[in-house]
Each structure stands twice: as C-alpha cells, then as structure tokens.
Amino acid sequence: MKIPKHLPENLWPAADRAAFDAAYVAGDIFDETGGLGAHLAEGTRKLIKTAYRRWLGFLRAQHGRDLELPPAARITRERVRQFIEYLSGTRPTSVAIAVDNLYFAARLISPASDWNWLRLARSRLNACARPEDRFPILVAPWRTLDLGIELMQGAMEHAGSEHKVRGIQYRDGLLVALLSVWPIRRRSIAALTITRHVELNDAGVNLLLGADDTKGKRAEEFSVPHPLVPYFRHYLEEVRPRLLGGYAHDGLWVSYRGERLSPGRIYDIVRARVFARFGKRMGLHDFRRAAATFLAISAPEIVGLTPGMLQHASPDVGERHYNQARSVQASERYAAHLAETRARLRRIAKQ
C-alpha cells in the first residue's frame, strides 16, 4: 500500500493534536491565556498544518519511531536536513515554503524553545529559492476585461440556448470582468453575499468587504466601474434568480445546481475561461500579478496605487513589480503591448 505524503490529521499522535489545539485556544484578552496562534487567520493556520502534515508524513515514512517522541523533540537539525533532502524532488520554492511553515509550527508547539537555527535555515532557503517567472502566462487586464464582457454579451445574444447554460456563461463573464478591474483574493471574491456585500444606489453598485473577508483584516469598498454596472444589475435581477432555482442562499455566485460557489470552484471556472480564450493557465492570483505588473509597465508614475489595489499594507509588492517592469525584458514586452494599450485607451475615452 502506498504511504501518503501527508499524514492525515486524524492519524496524528495525540500529543501533536493537543499541541495545536492549545496553540489556537482563543483564551481571555485580559489574562493572556490565549494560545500563541490564536490571532492567526484560518488560511494561515491551514498553510501551517499542511506543512506539518507533510513533516509527519516524512517521519512516518523514514523515521517511524520518531513519532513516539514529544513533537518538539523530533524537530532537530539532522531531521530537518533529511526532510529538506526528502523534498528535493519538488520545486525550491515549495521546499522553502514547507520549511518556513514548519518553523512557524515549531514556534506554536514549543514557544519557549530556541528555534533560531531553524529560522536561519528557512531564511537561507528563501534566499536561494527563485519564484517561477509567471509573466509569460499573464494576460493584460484590459484583455481579460474584454473577455468577460464578450462572454456576457454572447450569453444575452444567444437566446436560443438553454437558459442555465447562458446563465453560467454570463456568470463566468461577470467573474472574469470583475476580477480584471478588482483583483481581490480568492477568499474575498467567494465571500461576497447579496445582503452584506452588495450596495445598490442611484449612482451605481458598491461592493463592501468586511475586515473578516480580507487577509489584511481591513474593510474595503469598491465601486463597480460604470460600464459594468448594467451587466452587474442584470446578473442580480435576471441571471442569479434563474440559477438559484429552488435554492435560497445569500451567496453572490451561484453554481449550475443552484448552490453557492466555493473558492476552489471559482478558481477553476476563471482559469478555464482564460485558458480557452488565450491558452494561458492563469489562476486567480495571476490577476493580481497582471494588475500590478501592467500598471507598473503602462503607468509607472502611479505604481504607488498598487498596495491599495491588491489589499496590501506594505508598498514592497508594488516596488517589486515596478522593478520587474523596469527590466530589459519588461521593456521589450511593453513595446509589444504598446499599440494595444493605446487602442484600449482610445476606446475608453470615447465612452
């Protein structure tokens, strides 16, 4: 029987489960009884646990008797070195992420221990790991915006098609168009509901994100661009009710069966639509990369807007994309897109 790479949480030693439970206890804000990781967002906790499952899977496969030791006693220089070698078949960035999150797990399990050696190891791995160049698969935001509008227009014009098929195409088009002008994270786009997040008024449509809906824990408001407002209203008034069928829920995005779309399903939908048109496997996070990179290329004088656009508190992300845009390679890419950019700006000016 093939041994899974990750050890499922229900198979963890009792001491490991207890250590994580203690780390995430909310506690009392006045007597500081909460766990060290009580403040961590659910997404961060998931990343840490995923890396820890991989760590325990490695131990079970290579050093089974280690599972009899206390959790912190297993995390030694020698074992971590072997763990890194065990992961050597994966991308360097994946190895760095795994060790990075193992370091955080070690701090949660045994905050009083000296993990400086592990911190230095993960820093060296991060320095050596070179992220994959995603630029070749990025599609400029104005092109994905056009795709979204074309999908919606096509759904409205093909009245002879089955209404749910047209509804799904329209929904997908609105998703792609909205992400093109508002490239928020997967969890944020999936969290949108009718009653809490959508505000309709005479001026247009506002989308409101609460602090719990964003990674940075900051509320955000976005005004849907006027050219997209009629499409958004049509989705709310006509398309969404038909997709719901007999279901009744508050989610903005509705599946073929009438259920609420999950974050993973939204990712698959957008990726498939972009690939079908452009032949590029562009994920949701790539919309964020595209927005920052093409902004830095086309309008470097306003690159300071990038952190706000991407829900980042630090300007480092915008600076990184700005530096990429200033490279020789980016300059060549800019020349290739310049004519299309100018044409797009002319069309916007005529609206």
Residue 341: is it exposed, middle or buried by C-beta count within 10 angstroms (0-12/13-18/19+)?
middle
Q: What is the pLDDT of residue 97?
A: 93
Q: What is the pLDDT of residue 205?
A: 94
Give one DSSP letter per residue of 254-267, joined into a string: B-TTSSBPPHHHHH
pTM: 0.67
- Higher pLDDT: 232 or 320? It is 232
Average pLDDT, the chain: 83
Per-residue model confidence as pLDDT tens digits over 273-305: 999 999 999 999 899 888 877 765 554 443 334
Q: What is the pLDDT of residue 120?
A: 95
Q: Which domains does the chain have, with CATH numbers?
A: 9-128 (1.10.150), 135-350 (1.10.443.10)
Residue 196 predicted with pLDDT over 80 = yes
Residue 109 predicted with pLDDT over 50 = yes
Instruction: Give the sheet arrangement for strand 198-201, strand by strand.
Output: 198-201, 204-209, 220-223
Q: d(Cα 17, Cα 23) in Å, to the nearest integer?
A: 10
